[in-house]
Amino acid sequence: MTTQVVVVGSGYAGAGTVKAFENEIGEGEAELTWIAEHDYHLVLHEVHRAIRNPAVESKITIPVEEIKSDDTDFLQGRVVGVDTDDRVVETDDGTTVEYDYLLLGVGSTTAFFGIDGLEENAHQLKGLDDAKAIHDDVRAAAGEATQSDPVRVLIGGAGLSGIQTAGEIAEYRDKHRAPIDISLVEGMDEIFPGKDPEVQGALRKRLEEADVEILTGDFISEADEEAVYLGGGEAEAERLPYDVLIWTGGITGQPEVADVDVEKDERSNRVYAESDFTTSDDRVFAIGDASLIDQGDDDVAPPTAQAAWQAAEIAGENLARAARGAPLQSWRYENKGTVISVGEEAVAHDVMGMPIATFGGTPAKLLKKAIATRWIAKVSSTGRGLSAFGDM
Ligand SMILES: Cc1cc2nc3c(=O)[nH]c(=O)nc-3n(C[C@H](O)[C@H](O)[C@H](O)COP(=O)(O)OP(=O)(O)OC[C@H]3O[C@@H](n4cnc5c(N)ncnc54)[C@H](O)[C@@H]3O)c2cc1C
């Protein structure tokens, strides 16, 4: 029987792997089944745009039919179980698919770190529906607010998602002259934690110019229906009332991965993978946010679209190599720089080939657009990529 390859997930990891595998595999060498919860690829690193303008949906969702070749079977469903002994994947409607090689590209979900009341009261931002729900809530609340009693939008967590979310809501506020106060709360001492002070400073400046209040140095310890509490217990904690609460403070693995018999980080369920993407089970590969890919020196690849995109190119080739019994290639993440939007503005940092480390203005804005356009063109078509340019 022909070797059966199964790829799970339609994010950067899954979609990119499918493309790379199709390019590499020869006729009759293997059959590919692609399983994902949605029948489209979501350009997640631009999903914050849909908070300002939900109509951007058509630009950031790409039907799988436009991505895969006719030879690849697509099965829509959420994978709920993987039996690594019998090598079978099961989806939520009970469908089972056998595999010889499996790639887990299921991404991540929001980590609430057990903070009391947070999950129940906060929006998260891990998909299109989340972005639309935030839009609806901000819009509805702004409709009832006045300049003297504005809507209080509070965003917890100032990484890529939180910063870009704050930027979009500020842009929405300005475009619609809506009475909205925006606060971005970060527990660490600076926004975009762990990154270069120059880019942190540039982002802070853009956010402050966009009239976003930045609160750093105190963690959210609790939330209820009306407020979050910073610092210690409720009695001594600082109370920050909100009307709309958004939590973008961390990621963790998908719950379904907990029962898959591969080595993983016990707390997060993110799967340990070697630099060739094999896991403790050599029939199971993992990349993207779902994984912790060894980079040597106790380091792992970052949970970014950039890393998932790079890894997928080699992972697709490695699945084809595994199918034909050839040696696998190693991968090492290459940081090509970061470009972060703050509404219509953007800040670029450490971008390969650029003489200046951190910059904004038109060059950064164009770069941000070009990155999304290039990815969309790569997985679908140049026309689709170009049509998204204006909205990114
Ligand atoms: C608002 C926001 C802004 C961001 N900005 C940037 C940025 O500027 N630059 C950058 O590099 N990164 C950015 N990121 C991070 C980046 O989007 C992620 O690192 C990237 O999406 C990871 O790719 P992935 O394929 O591993 O996961 P995802 O893109 O999340 O894809 C996972 C896929 O698996 C599917 N899935 C999940 N569970 C199952 C299951 N059990 N069965 C079947 N299918 C399943 C999901 O539906 C999805 O299709 C941002 C993220 C967010 C949320």
pLDDT digits (tens, 9 = 90+) for 46-103: 999 999 999 999 999 999 999 999 999 999 999 999 999 999 999 999 999 999 999 9
pLDDT of 232 higher than 80: no
pLDDT of 362 higher than 80: yes
Residue closest by Cα to atom 14 of ligand 1:
45
Place 332 in a pLDDT band, splitting at 50, 70 and 90.
Answer: very high
Place 353 in a pLDDT band, splitting at 50, 70 and 90.
Answer: confident
Atom of ligand 1 minimally distant from the CA of 77: 43
Indicate the average pLDDT of the chain. 96
User: In this predicted structure, what is the pLDDT of residue 68?
Assistant: 98
Residue closest by Cα to atom 36 of ligand 1:
106
Using alpha carbons, list the distances in angstroms from residue 337 to 90, 116, 325.
Answer: 38, 36, 35
Question: Residue 82 forms beta bridges with which residues?
Answer: 89
Expressed in angstroms and rounded, the spacing between residue 175 Cα and the centre of ligand 1 is 29
Expressed in angstroms and rounded, the spacing between residue 33 Cα and the centre of ligand 1 is 20
Specify the CATH number of the domain 118-247: 3.50.50.60
From-to residues of CATH 3.50.50.60 in the chain: 3-110+251-323, 118-247
Residue 155 near ligand 1, beta carbon < 6 Å: no
- % the chain with pLDDT above 70: 99
Cα–Cα distance between 317 and 343 in angstroms, integer?
Answer: 37
pLDDT of 233 higher than 70: no
- Of the candidates 280, 307, 309, 246, which has an alpha carbon nearest to the alpha carbon of residue 51? 246
Atom of ligand 1 minimally distant from the CA of 131: 1
CB atoms within 10 A of CB 255: 10
Edge to edge, what strands does the sheet with 284-286 contain? 73-76, 30-36, 3-8, 101-104, 284-286
Atom of ligand 1 minimally distant from the CA of 38: 47
User: In this predicted structure, what is the pLDDT of residue 236?
Assistant: 76
Architecture of domain 3-110+251-323: 3-Layer(bba) Sandwich (3.50)
Expressed in angstroms and rounded, the spacing between residue 90 Cα and the centre of ligand 1 is 21
Expressed in angstroms and rounded, the spacing between residue 7 Cα and the centre of ligand 1 is 15
Q: How are beta strands 220-223 and 212-216 bridged, if at all?
A: unpaired
CB of 339 within 8 A of CB of 347?
yes
DSSP, res 179: -
Atom of ligand 1 minimally distant from the CA of 79: 42
CB atoms within 10 A of CB 177: 9
Averaged pLDDT, 342-369: 94
Atom of ligand 1 minimally distant from the CA of 287: 26
- Locate tokens 């993440």: which residue? 333
Q: What value, to the nearest 5°, has the Cα angle with vertex 264 and ends 163 and 308?
A: 45
